Structure 1
Amino acid sequence: MKSARRRSREFAVQSLYQWLLTKAEASAICAHLQSAPGFNKADREHFDALVQGVTRGAGALDAQLAPCLDRPTQELSPIEHAVLLIGAYELTHHIEIPYRVVINEAVEITKTFGGTDGYKYVNGVLDRLAAQLRATEIKHASR
């Protein structure tokens, strides 16, 4: 059974995928998704935080991701890009969520929505980003 947080991340990926492709207003995209089956089981507060945080801070999040990528963000699949943006946002702004949970959730969502081996790429990128953003947490976790 999926947790409410997992559902919020899945719906956030769908919203951000559409936002990346169409550049439509995030609020309109979110309003449309609210009628999707299963949305009522999602953590609405986390969903809102993810979509609003990513759409408002996409430039800064892309800048954080850039050194961890092997290509420009424009060349990423929109699903991988959306998942990476969410992962970067959570690593930066939700330090109460352990870095391993952020990475695992991103990998699992990419397995569901992304290409065949996209999850491997997402895992590697977020692992490098976590090493930069959560070095102290990683150090303590390895003890």
Structure 2
Amino acid sequence: MAFITPKHRSRERVVQALYQYMVSGGEVLKIEQQFLNQKEGKISKAFFSNLFINILKNRSELDALIAPTISRETDELGSVEHAVLYLGAYELQNSLEVPYKVVINEALEITKLYGAEGAFKLINASLDQLAKDLRAAEVAHS
């Protein structure tokens, strides 16, 4: 089995926490604590919390970014796919220190693990388009 970095595991937990929030509602801080307190594997707690809280704060803005890159309404997305797109869109827009290829690859790995069969194609197409829009200079030089 490949080595899983604390940041990758943090991203997986962000998707799981977003999924839980979208499916069942619940209090953001309780969900955050639940995922921070999980014992399996090391995560970067500050990285997890920063992503989880800021993605939730910026959901409508992220939906506006995602909407033109998919062939359906954002509310028709499966919850896992929606959560992964939130993560990818947020990181493309706000985590400029993370290369766009890493953002997309992480999102695809998580989708293959938790998403519907074939969902990675939608995620890849959407985030690829977002990368061209949000990181034009970086994409042009790769």
Q: TM-score range by the shorter chain?
A: over 0.9
Equivalent pair of 2:70/2:126 in contact (CA under 8 Å): yes
| Matching residue of 1:62 | 63
- The Cα of 1:25 is off from its aligned counterpart by 1.9
Pairing 1:27-106 to 2, within 5 Å after superposition: 27-38=29-40, 41-106=42-107
Among 18, 21, 26, the alignment partner of 1:24 is: 26
- Aligned residue pairs, count: 140
| Matching residue of 1:116 | 117
Give the letter for the 2:38 counterpart: A
- 1:54-95 C-alpha deviation (Å, 9 max, x unpaired): 000000000011110111111100000000000000001100
TM value normalised by structure 1: 0.94
Q: Any gaps of 5 or more consecutive residues in structure 2? A: none
- The Cα of 1:22 is off from its aligned counterpart by 1.9
- The Cα of 1:34 is off from its aligned counterpart by 2.5
Give the letter for the 2:11 counterpart: R
- C-alpha separation in 2, matches of 1:33 and 1:95: 25
- C-alpha separation in 2, matches of 1:119 and 1:66: 17
Which secondary structure state, in structure 1, belongs to the residue aligned with residue 58 of structure 2?
A: helix
- The Cα of 1:43 is off from its aligned counterpart by 1.1
- C-alpha separation in 2, matches of 1:33 and 1:88: 21
Query: Over aligned residues, Cα RMSD in angstroms?
Result: 1.0
Give the letter for the 1:133 counterpart: L
- 1:104-142 C-alpha deviation (Å, 9 max, x unpaired): 00000000011111111101110011110000001111x
TM value normalised by structure 2: 0.95
4+ runs of 1 displaced by more than 4 Å?
A: none
